[in-house]
Chains A and B, each alone.
Chain A
Amino acid sequence: MSAPASDTPGQGLSAAAAAGEPEALHAAPLTARSPLARLARDFCASWPALIGLVVILVIAVVAVFAPWIVPQDPYDLAQLDIMDGTLPPGAESYAFGTYWLGTDVQGRDMLSAIVYGLRISLLVGSVSVACALVVGSAVGLVAAFFGGSVDSVLMRIVDIQLSFPAILVALILLAIFGNGVDKVIVALIIVQWAYYARAVRGSALVERRKEYIDAAVCLGLGTRRVLFRHLLPNCLPPLIVIATVQVAHAIALEATLSFLGVGVPITEPSLGLLISNGFEYMMSGRYWISFFPGVALVVVIVAINLVGDRLRDLLNPRLQR
């Protein structure tokens, strides 16, 4: 396989190019026949997936607007009352009101702490997936389009990376980087990009042989335009599925790393760190400090997986009706 001969952007030909481009995922009005509307309709036909989607949306809204929703800023020490430490769920306090999910050892309202923890977990999950998606698909596209030695070198790196479990790579990276939300995100990008690279390369290799790519290349369109406007949109469906499931993976991985003490710093506790903090109190029966953050974590992950599972069924070309 060789790179297209011409790299000059064919300005005069852009109208023709637009005609040659695939119609999927373009800004066509959302009529009942557009692929997106059909996807939305089929998606809603499965109620577990719909519940998952609603749960994700509610949690995202709550996380974004957390400071205006929760009863207490859990990290403003002035608002904490140490006398209210390790109260069980539902305990009443004169100054605060009802601690619905109890308090931790410093008298922090667990409900507020969980909502703030969700913010960090969701932030880490979505940002790392978005960045890994961009990096990984760029690498995969380049590998598939140019082929030859570029392809074999890039895929060799992907193979080696994927032969090591993500948890181990992330653990070592964070042992080297140290604590920090930004460092966790970087580590998660490094462990995730290879999945996208492999998936994009796989579907791009199939698409690469189709006529519309030959047509675009023959029209003299620039390499970048062919790659990103013609090839990429047609490789998107499997990517959407992987990215959805990976958000759940990233959140779980972040929680695990924070639980092990190499993730987020103690000043910005995610759900994993909250669970870890409650571990020592659990043995004496004060379960709520670990239990409720874990429930929140599981609800988020299950909701995302339900949506991802449904998307996989709908976007799998082999199951297309």
Chain B
Amino acid sequence: MLVYFIRRLGQAALVLVVMALLVFVGIYAIGNPVDVLISPEADLAEQQATIERLGLDKPLWEQLWLFLVNALGGDLGRSFVHGEPALQLILERLPATLELALVALVIAVTAGVFLGLWAGLKPDSLTGRSIMTGSILGFSLPNFWLGLMLILVFAVSLQWLPAGGRGDTVSLLGIRTSLFTLDGLSHLILPAVTLALYKTSLVIRLARAGTREVALQDYVKFARAKGLSSSRVIYVHVLKNIMIPVVTVIGLELGSMIAFAVVTETVFAWPGIGKLLIDSIVNLDRPVVVAYLMMTVFIFILINFAVDLLYSLLDPRVRLSEAKA
């Protein structure tokens, strides 16, 4: 077990460093931030001063070295545009993105497992078939267009829900969340549904395949033969066993949800880290782009690790020490 942890830690560190190198060198190739940052009226001396202040006059390898050394101390550079530490900018906006991703995840799992279970228990019924056809549609609708159409229907035509922004937030344990205000929730619904749709289709498919497999197993037949009510068989015996693939995939998909939040946040003007990334790419704000990526890679590694642990808890047959990482 300990060996496993150490190996995973080593790998994680290696991936982080490699990503830092690739991204830093790659981002270095994006246009010259000086052109955007310095007003055209500034004279040469002012320009030179700004370039030196931002450390852009140093050679690439020196900038890279400074970045790596500072990154070890938790300093991922200072935003060219906002003048604040990049990490702080990201941490300020992270709760908004996580809130969106988690709410979307809850929607996807509840709706997906329920519909998938239904489709799996009655695969040939009309409902079962419509659920499966609907899931193809869910896979096919581009995330951003779905968002636009939801805005068109619910915000522009019906005017039931706001078209964008985050709404009122309350502070809970020092984190601002919109989960506990009516206004905040009304702002959250459309983006969360948009983000959830693709994953819902995915969970439907997993849950349906799982149900069809599990329903034929001997222990399910035995539970039925014992005279358990069919709701108990479904919600205890079947549900528990279809959750294993669902948990694995959903865990891994949480990372991709945070990435896809880039699109949803742009459509709904949701002030999270995804929108920050797009704005920073447009403004050539290199430190923020690099810091965003380091942060996302870090979150991904964390999620992968948590999924492995959870997996071994759900399925005692999996032993971590045996897992070849």
Interface positions of A (Cβ within 8 A of B):
48, 160, 163-165, 167-168, 171-173, 175-176, 178, 248, 252, 255-256, 259-262, 272, 275, 279, 282-283, 285, 287, 290-291, 294, 297-298, 301-302, 305-306, 309
The answer to whether A167 touches B262 (Cβ under 8 A) is yes
Chain A residues with Cβ below 8 Å from B148 are 275, 279, 282, 290, 294
The answer to whether B260 touches A165 (Cβ under 8 A) is yes
The answer to whether A275 touches B144 (Cβ under 8 A) is yes
27 contacting pairs across A/B (C-beta < 8 A): A163-B255, A167-B260, A168-B262, A171-B262, A172-B293, A173-B26, A175-B289, A176-B26, A176-B29, A176-B30, A248-B140, A255-B144, A259-B144, A259-B263, A260-B262, A260-B266, A272-B142, A275-B144, A282-B148, A283-B151, A290-B152, A291-B152, A294-B145, A297-B145, A298-B145, A301-B141, A305-B140
Nearest-CB distance from A212 to chain B (Å)?
A: 30
Report the bound CA distance from A252 to B136 in whole Å.
Answer: 14
The answer to whether A168 touches B23 (Cβ under 8 A) is no
**Is B154 an interface residue when CB atoms closer than 8 A count as contact?**
no
Interface readout for B269-286 with A: 1 if CB under 8 Å, 0 if not?
A: 000000001100110000
Closest to B15 in A: A160
Chain A residues with Cβ below 8 Å from B297 are 164
Chain B residues with Cβ below 8 Å from A305 are 136, 139-140
List the 6 shortest-distance A-B pairs measured between CB atoms, nearest first.
Answer: A165-B256, A165-B259, A168-B259, A294-B145, A301-B140, A302-B140
The answer to whether A297 touches B142 (Cβ under 8 A) is yes
Report the bound CA distance from A248 to B30 in whole Å.
Answer: 29
Chain A residues with Cβ below 8 Å from B189 are none
The answer to whether B300 touches A163 (Cβ under 8 A) is yes
Chain A residues with Cβ below 8 Å from B178 are none
Report the bound CA distance from A291 to B153 in whole Å.
Answer: 12
Chain A residues with Cβ below 8 Å from B133 are 48
Closest to A299 in B: B140
**Is B318 an interface residue when CB atoms closer than 8 A count as contact?**
no
Task: Say yes or no: A261-B136 contact (C-beta < 8 A), given A165-B260, A294-B148.
Answer: no
**Is B137 an interface residue when CB atoms closer than 8 A count as contact?**
yes
Chain A residues with Cβ below 8 Å from B149 are 291, 294
The answer to whether B23 touches A285 (Cβ under 8 A) is no
Chain B residues with Cβ below 8 Å from A275 are 144-145, 148
The answer to whether A294 touches B142 (Cβ under 8 A) is yes
Report the bound CA distance from A260 to B26 in whole Å.
Answer: 20
Report the bound CA distance from A259 to B27 in whole Å.
Answer: 21
Chain A residues with Cβ below 8 Å from B23 are 172
Size band of the interface chain B makes with A: 35 or more
The answer to whether A255 touches B281 (Cβ under 8 A) is no
Nearest-CB distance from A160 to chain B (Å)?
A: 6
Chain A residues with Cβ below 8 Å from B300 are 163-164
Chain A residues with Cβ below 8 Å from B141 are 298, 301
Report the bound CA distance from A272 to B142 in whole Å.
Answer: 10
Chain B residues with Cβ below 8 Å from A262 are 281
**Is B47 an interface residue when CB atoms closer than 8 A count as contact?**
no
Report the bound CA distance from A260 to B133 in whole Å.
Answer: 29
Interface positions of B (Cβ within 8 A of A):
15, 23, 26-27, 29-30, 133, 136-137, 139-145, 148-149, 151-152, 156, 163, 255-256, 259-260, 262-263, 266, 277-278, 281-282, 289, 293, 296-297, 300, 304
Report the bound CA distance from A296 to B263 in whole Å.
Answer: 20
Report the bound CA distance from A148 to B237 in whole Å.
Answer: 42
The answer to whether B136 touches A309 (Cβ under 8 A) is yes
Nearest-CB distance from B212 to chain A (Å)?
A: 13
Report the bound CA distance from A287 to B152 in whole Å.
Answer: 7
Closest to B151 in A: A282
The answer to whether A283 touches B259 (Cβ under 8 A) is no
Nearest-CB distance from A208 to chain B (Å)?
A: 20
Closest to B266 in A: A260
The answer to whether B156 touches A282 (Cβ under 8 A) is yes
Nearest-CB distance from B229 to chain A (Å)?
A: 33
Report the bound CA distance from A260 to B137 in whole Å.
Answer: 23
Chain A residues with Cβ below 8 Å from B26 are 172-173, 176
Nearest-CB distance from A247 to chain B (Å)?
A: 12
Chain A residues with Cβ below 8 Å from B143 are 256
The answer to whether B144 touches A163 (Cβ under 8 A) is no
Chain B residues with Cβ below 8 Å from A259 are 144, 263, 266
Chain A residues with Cβ below 8 Å from B163 are 283
Report the bound CA distance from A275 to B143 in whole Å.
Answer: 12
Report the bound CA distance from A172 to B278 in whole Å.
Answer: 10
The answer to whether A167 touches B259 (Cβ under 8 A) is yes
The answer to whether B136 touches A256 (Cβ under 8 A) is no
Report the bound CA distance from A294 to B151 in whole Å.
Answer: 14
Chain A residues with Cβ below 8 Å from B140 are 248, 252, 298, 301-302, 305
Cβ contact of A260, chosen from B30, B278, B293, B304, cutoff 8 A: B278
Nearest-CB distance from A296 to chain B (Å)?
A: 10
Closest to A259 in B: B144
Q: A256-B263, A290-B148, A291-B149 are in contact. List 15 more A-B contacts (CB 8 A).
A: A48-B133, A163-B255, A164-B300, A167-B256, A167-B260, A168-B259, A168-B296, A252-B140, A259-B266, A272-B142, A275-B145, A287-B152, A297-B145, A298-B141, A302-B136
Closest to A253 in B: B142
Report the bound CA distance from A285 to B151 in whole Å.
Answer: 11
Report the bound CA distance from A262 to B262 in whole Å.
Answer: 13
The answer to whether B304 touches A163 (Cβ under 8 A) is yes
Report the bound CA distance from A262 to B26 in whole Å.
Answer: 16
Nearest-CB distance from A277 to chain B (Å)?
A: 12
Most chain B CB inside 10 Å of its own CB: which residue of A255, A259, A302: A259
Report the bound CA distance from A113 to B249 in whole Å.
Answer: 39
Chain A residues with Cβ below 8 Å from B281 are 171, 175, 262
Report the bound CA distance from A312 to B300 in whole Å.
Answer: 30
Nearest-CB distance from A34 to chain B (Å)?
A: 30
Report the bound CA distance from A298 to B141 in whole Å.
Answer: 6
Report the bound CA distance from A302 to B201 in whole Å.
Answer: 14
Closest to A278 in B: B148
